[in-house]
């Protein structure tokens, strides 16, 4: 059975959470098993092995590396969330980082999602899925609430929002939004990404005169019901192109923006003022390496302290930009 409970719309929940916690900062988690925080030594005796259901995988030579890596990733994520939660409104989980650990990684993804909820943070599943029809519905079920089967209810990841790739068009967006709305969730549609390759297609000018990103933005804007504090259909906009962020805010006045690219990719928070026009929750500045690897650049031996300090600093930068 579904345990669905009626939930307020995502836009209201997001706006309230950002205001209540006083931050629009999003912790991005994309753990690389080869670059976790120091001192993490997973073993089969780890109590988490039981709670993650990894005992069977740990007992077999072929699956043991994946289970140990998953245990290590779990502990790493636990420590990073604990160190930075005070300055964040949400955690963005990079689904790929867990998928590469196989079945054990998927179990860990679910366990880390629970850590995020326990920390009273919103959960954004950065999956960039894009497909249609029953396939889109399956992805949405996997990432949001779950699936009814003849053998009972299979719970999904429980994400509050997911990232969606719009290339296939409206029928690749709507199934995600429908499922999101049913559970008080939201979507972030890729509109103008932060990478150099965004120039290849997203920046192409159409015969109608507008670039492709503008056409995509128009479709996202049209999904806004106009109700609540913010729309539940948001946009991914690269923080590396602040001029685009300002233009996109004009086109999508109430859409929450998910803003990757600060730090490692060269974006600055100061350039993102326009994103905050509809409120603090309108500009979700998502930072991964700038938090998790803060100790590498600061030379601090205490990774948690360095991450905590970087989180406070990034939060303060956001608040200045939003002021």
Contacts 24+ apart (CB under 8 A), 264-267: 264/288, 264/289, 264/290, 265/194, 265/195, 265/238, 265/239, 265/240, 266/240, 267/194, 267/238, 267/239, 267/240, 267/241, 267/242
CA proximity to 217, closest of 184, 176, 250 = 250
Using the rule CB under 8 A, is 307 a contact of its own copies?
A: no
Query: How many residues sit in the footprint of its own copies (CB under 8 A)?
Result: 84
Give phi and psi for 191, each to the nearest 5. -110, -50
Using the rule CB under 8 A, is 228 a contact of its own copies?
A: no
Touching its own copies, residues 253-292 (CB under 8 A)? none
Segment near its own copies (CB under 8 A), from 208-216, 243-251, 270-278, 297-305?
208-216
Residue whose CB is less far from its own copies, 127 or 269: 127
* 8 Å CB contact between 126 and 95: yes
Q: Of 79, 202, 286, 309, which one interacts with its own copies (CB under 8 A)?
A: 202
**DSSP code at position 87:** G
Using the rule CB under 8 A, is 200 a contact of its own copies?
A: yes
Residue 23 beta carbon to its own copies: minimum distance, rounded to whole angstroms: 24
| Cα distances (angstroms) measured from residue 24 to each of 140, 246, 249 | 25, 17, 16
CA proximity to 237, closest of 216, 259, 253 = 259
Touching its own copies, residues 161-190 (CB under 8 A)? 165-173, 190
Q: Of 38, 47, 197, 226, which one interacts with its own copies (CB under 8 A)?
A: 197
Residue whose CB is less far from its own copies, 55 or 250: 55
Residue whose CB is less far from its own copies, 168 or 227: 168
CA proximity to 67, closest of 53, 82, 87 = 53
Tokens of 76: 């790493």
x-or-dash pattern for its own copies, window 123-152, by CB under 8 A? -----xxxxxxxxx-xx-xx---xxxxxxx
Using the rule CB under 8 A, is 8 a contact of its own copies?
A: no
Tokens of 137: 């519905």
Q: Of 16, 19, 82, 110, which one interacts with its own copies (CB under 8 A)?
A: 110
x-or-dash pattern for its own copies, window 64-93, by CB under 8 A? xxx-xx--x---------------------
Residue whose CB is less far from its own copies, 209 or 226: 209
Tokens of 201: 């297609």
Segment near its own copies (CB under 8 A), from 85-93, 106-114, 242-250, 306-314?
106-114
Q: Which residue has the tokens 């860990």?
A: 108
Residue 320 beta carbon to its own copies: minimum distance, rounded to whole angstroms: 29
Q: How many residues in total does the chain contain? A: 323
Residue whose CB is less far from its own copies, 131 or 232: 131
Touching its own copies, residues 20-49 (CB under 8 A)? 30, 32-34, 42
Q: Of 7, 219, 268, 298, which one interacts with its own copies (CB under 8 A)?
A: 219
C-alpha 54 chain-centroid distance = 25
Q: Of 47, 209, 226, 299, which one interacts with its own copies (CB under 8 A)?
A: 209
CA trace torsion 163, 276, 17, 220 (10° rounding): -30
The SS3 assignment for 235 reads: strand
Residue 21 beta carbon to its own copies: minimum distance, rounded to whole angstroms: 27
Using the rule CB under 8 A, is 240 a contact of its own copies?
A: no
State how beta strands 122-129 and 152-155 pair: unpaired
Using the rule CB under 8 A, is 296 a contact of its own copies?
A: no
Residues with active-site annotation? 128
Q: Which residues contact 137 (CB under 8 A, 6 or more apart)?
A: 175, 179
């Amino acid at each position: 059975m579904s345990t669905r409970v009626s939930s307020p719309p995502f836009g209201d929940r997001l706006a309230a959470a950002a205001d209540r916690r006083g931050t629009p900062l999003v912790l991005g988690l994309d753990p690389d098993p080869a670059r976790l925080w120091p001192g993490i030594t997973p073993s089969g005796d780890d109590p988490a092995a039981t709670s993650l259901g990894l005992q069977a995988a740990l007992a077999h030579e072929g699956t043991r590396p994946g289970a140990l890596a998953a245990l290590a990733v779990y502990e790493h994520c636990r420590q990073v969330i604990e160190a930075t939660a005070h300055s964040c409104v949400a955690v963005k989980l990079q689904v790929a980082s867990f998928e590469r650990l196989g079945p054990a990684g998927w179990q860990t993804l679910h366990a880390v999602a629970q850590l995020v909820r326990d920390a009273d943070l919103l959960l954004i599943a950065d999956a960039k899925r894009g497909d249609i029809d029953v396939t889109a519905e399956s992805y949405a079920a996997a990432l949001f609430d779950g699936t009814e089967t003849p053998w009972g209810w299979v719970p999904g990841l429980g994400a509050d929002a997911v990232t969606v790739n719009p290339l296939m068009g409206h029928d690749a967006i709507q199934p995600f939004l429908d499922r999101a709305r049913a559970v008080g969730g939201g979507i972030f549609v890729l509109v103008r990404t932060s990478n150099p390759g965004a120039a290849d297609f997203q920046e192409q000018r159409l015969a109608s005169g507008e670039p492709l990103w503008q056409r995509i933005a128009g479709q996202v804007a049209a999904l806004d019901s106009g109700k609540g504090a913010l729309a539940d259909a948001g946009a991914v906009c690269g923080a590396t192109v602040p001029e685009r962020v300002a233009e996109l805010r004009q086109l999508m006045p109430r859409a929450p923006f998910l803003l990757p690219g600060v730090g490692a990719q060269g974006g600055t928070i100061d350039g993102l003022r326009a994103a905050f026009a509809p409120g603090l929750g309108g500009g979700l500045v998502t930072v991964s390496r700038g938090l998790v690897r803060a100790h590498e650049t600061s030379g601090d031996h205490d990774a948690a302290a360095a991450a905590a300090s970087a989180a406070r600093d990034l939060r303060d930068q956001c608040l200045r930009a939003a002021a």
